[in-house]
A = this chain, B = another copy of it.
């Protein structure tokens, strides 16, 4: 899957057509930005992608993302063309705004329970970063994953969203697509225990076959290569460009 080149420091501001189409400021290998891509694709909402080099950020990024983070979503059809930031807020906005393929439950309790689950997902994201940067914390990762195995068992459905992927599924998927990077980082310790995580194992296989997930995916080899270059201090943002 190809992607457009990443704008870096000194890059001129991209000139996009005044076509009223949403603009997503992204980075091809950012799991948070991937959340927004998945929701946009799940809802068949057209958008322009503006990829950003997060090491050497273009000067004009601040105009769209005050904290210089991705994803940021610019709503060019709205008054003053405001931008939204924070992947979960962007994703919920898109789900509220575009009714096709609703992702979050409408019931206030179920909605709140899904959001609590996403809060608890920080156990996974924190462990993931620690493993990548410090090479430790694998057991913390598995302990955090137990919560999701247990929850999927409790829900009794193939996906957190029910019979098809919903909000929680797409919000957490990017980290599972990157399991290979943990294995690459800790080849001697890594052991995905399918007996400990039978539901999650099946869930991963099912999501890999999902058309939305397939619409924005990278291979284990590509993720590993990106991580290798990032760890070496020179991330190859344009690996897929």
Contacts and interface: CB of A to CB of B under 8 A. Distances in A.
Nearest to A79: B109
Interface in A95-137: 96-97, 108-109, 111-113, 115-116, 119
A86 B121 CA distance: 13
Contact of A109 (B82, B85, B119): B82
A191 to B, nearest CB: 27
A116 B89 contact: yes
A204 interface: no
Contact of A119 (B82, B86, B112, B115): B86
Q: Is the interface of A mostly helix, strand, loop or mixed?
A: helix
A92 B115 CA distance: 11
Contacts of A93: 108-109, 111-112
Contacts of A78: 109
Contacts of A52: none
Contacts of A115: 86, 89, 92
Which of A75, A82, A116, A119 lies at the interface centre, i.e. has the most chain B CB atoms within 10 A of its CB?
A: A116
> What band does the interface of chain A fall in when counting residues whose beta carbon is under 8 Å from B?
20 to 34
A111 B93 CA distance: 8
A145 interface: no
A212 interface: no
A112 B84 CA distance: 7
A112 B78 CA distance: 13
Contacts of A42: none
Nearest to A90: B112
A74 to B, nearest CB: 12
B119 A75 contact: no
A112 B109 CA distance: 20
Nearest to A95: B108
Contacts of A119: 85-86, 89
Contact of A96 (B89, B90, B111): B111
14 contacts: A75-B109, A78-B109, A82-B109, A84-B109, A84-B113, A84-B116, A86-B115, A86-B116, A89-B112, A89-B119, A92-B112, A93-B108, A93-B112, A97-B108
Given A84-B113, A86-B115, 14 more contacts: A75-B109, A82-B113, A84-B109, A84-B112, A84-B116, A86-B119, A89-B115, A92-B112, A93-B109, A93-B111, A93-B112, A96-B108, A96-B111, A97-B109
